[in-house]
Amino acid sequence: MKIAFTAKGTGWDSPIDPRLGRTEYILLYDEDKDELSVTDNREIEGVAHGAGPKTAQLLFDINPDVLITGNGPGDNAAVVLKQIPMKIYVGAGELTVKTALEAYKNNELKEF
Amino acid sequence: MKEIVVISGKGGTGKTSITASFAMLGGKDIVVADCDVDAADMHLLMKPNVKTEEDFYSGNAAVIDRAKCLNCGKCASVCRFDAINLIEYLYSVSALNCEGCGYCARVCPVKVISMVEQNVGKLYISATKADNMMVHARLLSGADNSGKLVARVKKEAKQIAQETGKGFVIVDGSPGIGCPVISSLSGADFVVLVTEPTVSGLHDLKRVYELVNRFQISAGCIINKADINQDVVNHIEIYLRENNIVHLTDLPYDESFTSAMTIGQTIVEYDHDKLADLLTVSWNKIKQILSKEQQ
């Protein structure tokens, strides 16, 4: 299974970025390979409008099974994300990537 | 560090007056972020002493390389905003009308149209009279607020709060429900909804709360001018109960709001009586809710 995180850094101890559209990084944990890979999304800072759909497009391309984030997508991003079978879990805004994964495994996060 | 965002949906409900009061009450323990950049007026109340300023760039406008342009007019024919017109027999872009979509640059047969980032205004970091720091911006004529600018203002404010160990960032949120508001809300810990008992006050409260609820942020509501229409107040109260929104307080209609504003003071400085008390109680309630959530 592939699990994606919106994050403010590139490692397991990085805080989750509660924002979906303007998240700085997207981390992808490939459970089968036990590998964490990084997609740099910092150029989103330069986007004046439409950050949500743009990052949603990126997630669409990465195509993970699960996304763990803070606030969840806004209306426009949600329209894009509905097109892929990815499940979204929210409420991890104050956790680190590592603790968010644990919280997800323990069913402590809410499905969007 | 907790981030509190004050929004209203409808204009004129007293959002900025109330935010500025909270900024006074929070004093040293907060950083203020004015994200109502289209009509930024918090600085009138907080009397900021500007420490740093920088130009802010957001959005693009088309620029035609005159030397290489064939003057074919293809760009003008596709522009949906009538931003490209013949001026003295040459196709020219009006930067004010250009929305920056880039369609013209795409269709130009000789590729001589480039999209250039626009300087839309200035970003400031200032010290206020409330003994705290404030991040704010001023837009140039014709420029508009964006999710990008709001995200930047908030980022600076959070960074200052983190570096100096402050407890709160208080954000004067953007109006409406569009991109800047979404950017104001994202990452917030608590939302204060300021409303008034009018039909449009309630309507816009509902509209903006839909957004807050979508992002699952806990919220509290202040009903300002609560004595002008009991009937609508009842409707608002029902709505708050149904949606689990904390009813922080009711403020009476009071011309002190305007009088304080005209002399550049916040309510808590101007009124030492009922309004100041009610606002102090609300501020303490918000702090209490946030410290409970942390446990």
Domains of chain B, start order: 2-47+128-294 (3.40.50.300), 59-119 (3.30.70.20)
**pLDDT at site B294:** 63
C-alpha distance from A46 to closest chain B C-alpha (Å)? 7
pLDDT at residue B202, as a whole number: 96
Domain ranges (residues) in chain A: 2-111
For chain A, positions 25-84, list CB contacts with chain B under 8 A: 45-52, 70-72, 74-75
Contact A21 B58 (CB under 8 A): no
This complex has an ipTM of: 0.73
CB B38 within 8 A of CB B175: yes
Q: Which residues of A touch B185 (CB under 8 A)?
A: 71
Rounded to a whole number of angstroms, the distance from the CA of B244 to the nearest CA of chain A is: 18
Q: Chain A contacts of B217, Cβ < 8 Å?
A: 71
| Inter-chain CB proximity A48 and B59 less than 8 Å | yes
Cα distance from N-terminal residue to C-terminal residue, chain A: 19
What lies within 8 Å, CB to CB, of B117 at 6+ separation is: B57, B58, B59, B60
Chain B interface, Cβ < 8 Å to A: 58-59, 100, 146-149, 151-152, 179, 182-183, 185-187, 211, 214-217
B263 CA to centre of own chain: 23
| pLDDT of res. B222 | 97
Query: Which candidate, B188, B161, B148, B196, places its Cα nearest to that of B172?
Result: B188
CATH 3.30.420.130 fits A2-111, yes or no: yes
The total of other beta-carbon atoms located within 10 Å of residue B154's CB is: 25
Query: Nearest-CA residue of chain B relative to A71?
Result: B215
Mean pLDDT for each consecutive 10-residue tract of chain B (295 residues)? Answer: 94 93 96 91 93 92 95 96 94 92 96 93 95 94 85 94 96 87 90 96 95 92 96 97 96 93 94 90 96 73
Chain B touched by A100 (CB under 8 Å)? no
Alpha-carbon dihedral sign for residues B235, B239, B242, B247: negative
Residue of chain A whose Cα is closest to the Cα of B182: A74
pTM of the model: 0.86
Give the pLDDT score at B295.
56
Count of CB atoms within 10 A of residue B285's CB?
Answer: 15
CB contact under 8 A, B147 and A48: yes
| Residue B49 pLDDT | 96
Q: What percent of chain A has pLDDT over 90?
A: 80
| Spans of chain A, pLDDT less than 50 | none
Q: Which of B77, B71, B66, B132 is nearest to B103 (CA)?
A: B77
Distance CA B13, CA B32 (A): 20
